[in-house]
Amino acid sequence: MKTIVTGKINSGKTRTLRALHANASEGDGFAAVKWMEGSVVKGFDAMRLSTEETYPLIRRKGDEGGDTVAHTLGPYSFLRPAMERVEKEMDALIDSGVSPLFFDEAGLLEMEGKGFDGLIRRILAASADAFLVVRRDLLEAFLKRYDVDEYRVIKAGEATWT
């Protein structure tokens, strides 16, 4: 079964995904952990759920630290080394039959066919159960883009299925 964790920006989607992974006691994947400096979002780190190892994934333009930029969106740069590492590690999880898979998140880039678009397609095509994070305002576009017809939804911060 494919499960979508959804909610508004800053509603606790990543926290909910991490709690679902912790409660599952199996499976693996990645969460995008917000990195703040005071009240300013400086970027996001890709965190492997099983090990809690992190990689700089998104940084504000100008704070890329020498990493190659794969994409830009608004004030943010998406860093190629972490994107490639996440794809490689997620593909290994898919190939080895790990279930459930966890992935945070399908966003604006993916709705344009960029970013992790191909990886999301592979996750959805896998026979494994999967939990994917999608902002509420992108949910309809996500379902249409990836032709998802069988799924369940968890609202961020809630433990109930809808």
Q: What is the pLDDT of residue 105?
A: 94
162 has pLDDT over 70: no
CB 92 within 8 A of CB 28: no
Average pLDDT, the chain: 94
Q: Give the Cα separation of 18 and 22 in Å (integer).
A: 6
Q: Give the Cα separation of 74 and 81 in Å (integer).
A: 20
Q: What is the pLDDT of residue 157?
A: 80
Determine what percent of the chain is predicted with pLDDT higher than 70: 97
pLDDT tens for each residue of 6-22: 999 989 999 999 999 99
How does residue 132 score in pLDDT terms, banded at 50, 70 and 90? very high
pLDDT tens for each residue of 75-126: 999 999 999 999 999 999 999 999 999 999 999 999 999 999 999 999 999 9
131 has pLDDT over 80: yes
Q: Give the Cα separation of 45 and 32 in Å (integer).
A: 6
146 has pLDDT over 50: yes
pLDDT tens for each residue of 19-31: 999 999 899 999 9
pTM value?
0.94
Please name the residue that has the structure tokens 């896998």. Answer: 126
Determine the topology of domain 2-31+78-155 in CATH.
Answer: Rossmann fold (3.40.50)
- Strands of the chain, DSSP E: 2-7, 28-37, 40-48, 54-60, 69-73, 76-79, 101-106, 130-135, 152-155
